[in-house]
Amino acid sequence: MQQNLLDLDAHALTAYFTEMGEKPFRARQLMRWIYREGESDFAAMTDIAASLRDKLAQSACISAPSVMREELSDDGTRKWLLDMGTGNAVEAVYIPEATRGTLCISSQAGCALDCSFCSTGKQGFNRNLSVAEIIGQLWWANRQIGRNAEGNWPISNVVMMGMGEPLLNFDNTVSALRLMLDDLAYGLSRRRVTVSTSGIVPAMDRLREECPVALAVSLHAPNDRLRDQLVPINQKYPLRELMAACQRYLERAPRDFITFEYVMLDGVNDTVQHAHELVRLVADTPCKFNLIPFNPFPQSPYKRSRPDAIQRFRDVLMQADIVTTTRKTRGDDIAAACGQLAGQVQDKTKRTASRTISFHK
């Protein structure tokens, strides 16, 4: 079986070449070809000895997930449905803006956390994605979009806010993060790579030690009683523990604040009283809030908060000197908005019925 080189970060790739009896610098050469040049054909890697290229062609490959479908929004947002095999699929979304290009990627097929407002959680959990399947979303998207006029890859920011809980696929997520940060690969700043978590406290501490990037926490409630209902993992890691973990993370974080994501659910978590409770909750934690208008899905019991309710909620946070933004809805016409992005995939039981999977945790 051929070794997929997208599965190997710099350390693992060096070990791979050492086992082949090759010098460590070969790993650096190959990384530049794979990530800086976006090359998958060993024959095109002209500064690598022909004998080694032949050997690699026999024993290795550079293989990203295959694309089942691509859609383009009127606002420039692009969505790809990616085949992960065995009836599993995830989606990646590219959001172009004037000063940056952001790619939202997945870490798992399905999700085990079952947040009550999320359609992904209703699908259940299928499996973790491999390193190649995670970094392959970035590798493929860059190649598909193509370099800009300056010769640079278009994606400047990566957010792991897609399907799944990244910190429940910790080792593969961290290996992929290291490739995003490695100067021989994508060379992204830690500030431009964001991991979103629903609050897996021990893994947050591990990430702080091993690969601290920007952190976004899916909060969604100001107290344990409500968060237990909306985000069931809160029953294991309640808010007191979560907030303490956020403060520990800030000691090594590339940014001096935590981003809290807060989906706005009409009549559930969006009152002025909830906002005041949030202010008290985060009083000791430097942070900013990203308010997310809920995007309904079939069988959901929730509705999107009214614009005036969102504004009143935002005003309370802003008056407490908490930077607060309301997420813009992008890609509505291709179902690419947060909590709405979906693809029809056959489930793991191989039944003919298909499931709708969402890109938001």
Q: Which tens digit of pLDDT belongs to each residue from 155-178?
A: 999 999 988 999 999 999 999 999
Q: What is the mean pLDDT of residues 110-128?
A: 81
pLDDT (tens digit per residue) in 47-104? 999 999 999 999 999 999 988 888 888 888 898 888 888 778 888 999 998 889 999 9
Region of residue 60 (phi > 0: left; psi between -120 and 50: alpha; otherwise: beta)? beta
Catalytic residues: 91, 338
Q: What is the 3-state secondary structure (H, E, C) of 253-285?
A: CCCCCEEEEEEEECCCCCCHHHHHHHHHHCCCC
What residues contact 90, with CB distance under 8 A and at least 6 apart? 65, 81, 82, 84, 106, 109, 129, 137, 162, 163, 164, 343, 357, 359
Return the pLDDT at 296: 82
Is the pTM above the cut of 0.85?
yes
Calculate the dihedral angle through the C-alpha atoms of 81, 90, 1, 17, rounding to the nearest 10 degrees.
100
**Is residue 216 over pLDDT 50?**
yes
Q: How far apart are CA 65 and CA 133, in angstroms?
A: 6
Measured at the CA of 35, the angle between CA 58 and CA 74, to 5 degrees, comes to: 120
Q: What Cα–Cα distance (Å) separates residue 319 from each residue in 107, 138, 259?
A: 36, 38, 18
Q: Look at 307 and 327; give whichever has higher pLDDT.
A: 307
Percent of the chain with pLDDT over 70: 90
Return the pLDDT at 277: 98
Return the pLDDT at 98: 83
Q: Where are the domains of the chain?
A: 3-61, 66-358
What residues contact 87, with CB distance under 8 A and at least 6 apart? 345, 346, 347, 348, 350
Return the pLDDT at 356: 32
Q: What is the CATH class of 66-358?
A: alpha beta
Percent of the chain with pLDDT over 90: 70
DSSP 8-state secondary structure symbol assigned to residue 327: P
Return the pLDDT at 332: 58
Q: What is the CATH class of 3-61?
A: mainly alpha
- Is residue 279 within 8 A of residue 287, CB to CB? The reply is no
